Structure 1
């Protein structure tokens, strides 16, 4: 076992492990390698910290080098400051497994440096829920925004944060505080609360406070805002052509509000904003944006973390340009570098050559260590998905459903109902909730559209689901073909409500903003007339309905 670098204050025992708090000045007892390790957040493969399958062992070796077959070994060898969980890295099988993995990784970190590990995931709610049932599943940000009650953002965040903390997850990469000004936004959409700056700021601050009340750290994202882009930076380069004044007036205020509320961490986006930095580098690598705007103008002295460095948006940059550029820009944490050994080596070489100073490294490590408080361990087995937690999420979902047009509603007892359209799981779950026939079409071919039209003719009413139809002409063709039958058609947008602009003649249109179980249950109740639809549009549908609208 490696020496403990830090003075540990034993406070209590959780799950048989001591609680530790950092005392004194830890930096004076850390090597440079241990410092730069704190700046790296990586994924690891496997359900366990110390015992993994052959496939996961091979994946870890490919990621971290020969002989590093487990997450615990990766944490110890590279003195990692953080680990991020994903389903595809096989970290999220079930709550007991997640809690055990978290405790195992924390044991490795404490044995190595005595510094607790940051364990994170993306649990925004809605379409970005890394962990599903039996956790209480939160509606997404736009659904919460549709309640027009910021208390729902607080309540959802507190429930979600409490459950994450029970699993040993110390940070959630949420809330999204982008202002969704572009209806064709491929990065945010329903992940954003609204297209109104004040609305986003109010709900973002409420969510921040809810997570904090649960004892979980947050990452407000994506600075300086991804609301005006049509490209998801995971897939390519996002550029905003908005002026500096537009960005400062529309997209920056939610971050200012979050900072004033005490945000501990902000994620830097890979968006290119020429009006903020004419060199054309992404914000995550831009000193004018990170240091000049975020730190100096907005006064933020918390942790700045990059968006995933594996993202396609950085594909034209070398690892050295990305790693050194981000730190020079003012970033503290490097999330998911393409190579962990490479990132560590680049940082060490940059200090040795004078391209980065150790003093600059110390600035970042001090910020990171300030966020690592309390016991790193959790009680096993964890308690999640309590009736009270599930009820909270159900009540929020029920308040989000928004009816814009209601000609064919409510569905009547005895009607023969067809559910068709986008989403294999969505159509299955909605058909089950309605006691309806189901015909999944996805992005339909002409043949499938013809089948749906024929099926609609055999039913009293058809419910057709859509998701971001503006990006999928075949969904639009399906809805238009169904409307042309003259039969009662109910269009339900389970993505953004902007879909209505693609078929403005639809006489019945409901915005659900998501397709998670609480939302499907609430939607079914509205369609059948068992519940009202109190939600209001948190965005404007140009030429059709204003912000705040709902059918009378």
Structure 2
């Protein structure tokens, strides 16, 4: 089917979508008044046995559960661990079944077999249900769309957030989250660490890049709110990140602590704006980032370990009521500051986080457990902070799992293929990719097979060549690595000139500084060169001598279809660059 057929359809406008985040708030199945009539003090008598599924109002039940929990159960409830390998190891089951671990995270290194992911989640939930309070697990992942796609296998490889920013439609954000969430929900995943609402302020950023909706704070807040609403409609808890904003740095907090040297006025008008918008829309979860703002918190502490940022600002001044979840604590951005992982966990809890994440499963006697458990027994304030966090987690679980739209606790692996890939989603993501394509420079377009002359496709990804051959079946190919090293870049730059000399038109895919350098080598030839830019389009700006430059913002197969469809004149290109070209 020609792309024009999918792209001339009217955009699905959901005027209510950006206001739907508040739908996360769940009406309790039993009113407090009913329970109060049974128990005048509005408490559950200690002789009454209760568990997570007992029939009481959520606030009352959550408070009663934490009052009955041991220190070990309280502390374990606020921890989230990932696992290495295709299946959870015995150690993780010891944490879940033996200690009452509250949450687990699915990372990208164990998700190629999505049937096994579903089986693992079901098994872990059964282990959690075997404990006395039967508290289910939050199961989280990072399925932002675009290049952050931790659950792989047959799940959708989508155009991503910068593509949404280029189309500018809140409905695109809503439906992207909706279809992404429907897929992961079928696996039993109930929490998604998305959307990122970091602004694309520093255009040299490689850690944020196309994960951002763009640089305009109001637009990012609007699109982030729509994304969150779509996630909730599908039955998955969204998480806004990385508070208070990762956009104005080219540093990667996995490696070191980024320092963002802005004053509070700039910070308030820029980084905070999307979060303020989402807080007003009752976003249920926020992830704290390992980011230092020394002009705002003079201690220089990362926001994830800063009581000012999380308790005073986020909770106090901004009035946020949902869960606060750390970014992965195994990153250098927090541990180098704290001095040890155990100290980092303690500081994160004291700062106001409700869930603390480790990408690996801790050993049973690790200091992050033993030291902080011992501190609970010595420091009543620290114990109360953990108890408060455990209450927040359990209350959020009650709201979600008793809300009527939760992910299955025990997903059926045999039915996964009926839901993944999402058939409606496949059509939508192609439409969305078409709406995102942007001309940075428009030359002689459309470029049809009959008037293109001899065509050379140059790039690295199979889907690029596959989409190109559909339009230019007699084309030749020149391939280089997706991430070429300096020697390969020099060698390919020399050889592409020799190869291109025999062709009329070169269509080259640019995704990085080095692939742009290979494209730059074509300039002296005087050939018709067309640049298809994926990922951050800034790398292609210096190639303004080319005949045409089209931006697609991702390496999604839908994006390649949309890019070549645009080049072939199959629809009208209307995307706009979601940040200022420099």
TM range (shorter): 0.7 to 0.9
1:503 aligned residue (543, 547, 571): 543
Structure 1 residues 238 and 24, CA, compared in 2 at 3 Å: closer, same or farther?
A: closer
Name structure 2 gaps, 5 residues minimum: 1-47, 402-407
Separation of aligned partners in 2, 1:476 and 1:87 = 28
- Whether 1:371 and 2:396 are equivalent positions in the alignment is yes
Counterpart of 2:134 in structure 1 is 114
- Whether 1:143 and 2:163 are equivalent positions in the alignment is yes
Counterpart of 1:420 in structure 2 is 458
Q: Which moves more between the two structures, 304-313 or 386-395?
A: 386-395
Counterpart of 1:531 in structure 2 is 571
Separation of aligned partners in 2, 1:439 and 1:356 = 64
Counterpart of 1:409 in structure 2 is 445
User: What's the offset of the Cα at 1:456?
Assistant: 1.4
1:79-478 to 2 correspondences below 5 Å: 79-88=100-109, 90=110, 92-112=111-131, 113-316=133-336, 317-336=339-358, 340=362, 341=364, 342=366, 343-354=368-379, 356-372=381-397, 373-374=400-401, 376-380=409-413, 381-382=415-416, 383-414=419-450, 415-421=453-459, 423-425=460-462, 427-434=464-471, 435=473, 436-442=475-481, 443=484, 444-469=488-513, 474-478=514-518
User: What's the offset of the Cα at 1:320?
Assistant: 2.7
Q: Which moves more between the two structures, 286-295 or 93-102?
A: 93-102
Structure 1 residues 48 and 500, CA, compared in 2 at 3 Å: closer, same or farther?
A: closer
- Whether 1:521 and 2:561 are equivalent positions in the alignment is yes
Structure 1 residues 285 and 8, CA, compared in 2 at 3 Å: closer, same or farther?
A: closer
Root mean square deviation of aligned Cα: 2.3
- Secondary structure of the structure 1 residue equivalent to 2:508: strand
Higher relative contact order (CA 8 A, sep 6+): 2
Structure 1 residues 339 and 131, CA, compared in 2 at 3 Å: closer, same or farther?
A: closer
Separation of aligned partners in 2, 1:5 and 1:466 = 63
CA offset digits 1:252-297 (Å, max 9, x no partner): 0101111111111111111111122111111111111111111111
CA offset digits 1:178-225 (Å, max 9, x no partner): 111111112211000010001100000000100010110111000000
CA offset digits 1:27-57 (Å, max 9, x no partner): 12211111111111111234445xxxxxxxx
User: What's the offset of the Cα at 1:8?
Assistant: 4.5
Structure 1 residues 337 and 464, CA, compared in 2 at 3 Å: closer, same or farther?
A: closer
More helix by share: 2
CA offset digits 1:332-355 (Å, max 9, x no partner): 111116662432223202212318
Separation of aligned partners in 2, 1:226 and 1:425 = 32
Give the TM-score normalised by structure 2: 0.82
Asked whether the 8 Å contact 1:155–1:210 carries over to 2, the reply is: yes
Separation of aligned partners in 2, 1:428 and 1:249 = 44
Structure 1 residues 400 and 224, CA, compared in 2 at 3 Å: closer, same or farther?
A: same
Name structure 1 gaps, 5 residues minimum: 12-20, 50-59, 61-68, 543-552
2:532 aligned residue (484, 489, 492): 492
User: What's the offset of the Cα at 1:137?
Assistant: 3.2
Q: How many residues align?
A: 505
Structure 1 residues 482 and 22, CA, compared in 2 at 3 Å: closer, same or farther?
A: farther
User: What's the offset of the Cα at 1:111?
Assistant: 0.8
Asked whether the 8 Å contact 1:187–1:229 carries over to 2, the reply is: no
